[in-house]
Structure 1
Amino acid sequence: MTAADALSPEYLAFWREYHLCTLTTLRPDGSPHVVPVGVTYDPAAGLARVITDKNSVKVRNVEAAGPGGARVAVCQVHRGRWATLEGRAAVRTEPALIEDAVRRYAERYGRTPGPNPDRVLIEITVDRPLGRG
């Protein structure tokens, strides 16, 4: 799939449907850590967002990569369709960014997560969309 295909209306619609996803981060020893997450994708901004608890392993893995960010991938699959977004992730703690990410999550998944004072945002600058529609 080319980058142009990944921005097709069908591909973008797939990222708006309700699908649980996986986030793959790398542990300090280089082994993959794969966990289920909810993801939102903003193709105009080139960002994928995952809200999570600041004490999670995925956050520690992203932070361990240093200031340049961690190489990560988020993926979703439904029958023969799949879509992956690869890019650099950073942990964001700004309240306005977290609130925006929670709003986007609620739009996609049809529910607003309960309050969590330890919530942070893993923000992924997407540089490689892949998939099969």
Structure 2
Amino acid sequence: MSRAAVELPAGTRAFLTRPRTATLTTLRPDGTPHVTPVRFTVDAATGLVRVTTRAGARKARNVAAGGPAARVALCQADGFRWVTLEGRAAVTDDPEHLAEAVRRYTARYRAAPPAPPDLVVIEIAVDRILSLNL
């Protein structure tokens, strides 16, 4: 996964550190959107967003089906404040990537994520940021 093409502004980083859920939008193979609530982490140093999930989950299958061109959008909102992070996404079950995703998730949400046997991580290289009232 390549580095993100944009840097997260300080206000955006602060907003995204709150332990909230967001919506992740992926595209099904037929091009229709699939929107699901997720917990996630943001690595400001690399511009990577990480979402842990099951390999068989629709969101993971959508990203995998999109190949290297797969794009997603993740949106966290709080009243009239929101930020959407868009970028290329990839699914991996690499143990080092999984360990980093679990470590960051546990630090953010103060609990380990679910650990199904088919755990994977969706990594999103953020290249576009949209926001309001941050």
The DSSP-based 3-state class of the residue aligned with 2:121 is strand
5+ residue gaps, structure 1, are none
Preserved contact between residue 8 and residue 47 of structure 2 (Cα < 8 Å): no
Equivalent position of 1:38 in the other structure: 39
Q: What's the CA shift for 1:96?
A: 1.2
8 Å contact 2:63–2:70 — kept in the other structure? yes
Question: What code does the residue aligned with 1:112 have?
Answer: A
TM-fit CA distance, 1:115: 3.0
Does 2:56 correspond to 1:55? Answer: yes
In structure 2, runs of 5+ residues without a counterpart are none
Q: Distance in 2 between matches of 1:47 and 1:115?
A: 21
Give 1:111 deviation, angstroms: 0.9
Q: Give the C-alpha shift of residue 99 in structure 1.
A: 1.0
* 8 Å CA contact retained: 1:63, 1:69: no
CA positional deviation for 1:8:
2.9
Indicate the residue corresponding to 1:81 in structure 2. 81
Normalised TM-score (structure 1): 0.90
Report deviation, 1:46.
1.4
- Count of matched residue positions in the alignment of Structure 1 and Structure 2: 129
Counterpart AA for 2:101: A
Q: Deviations over 1:61-116 (max 9, x none)?
A: 111112x1411000100011101110000001101110110111111112112432
Per the alignment, residue 97 of structure 1 pairs with 97
Instruction: Report deviation, 1:35.
Output: 0.2
Q: Normalising by the residue count of structure 2, what TM-score does the alignment of the two structures yield?
A: 0.90
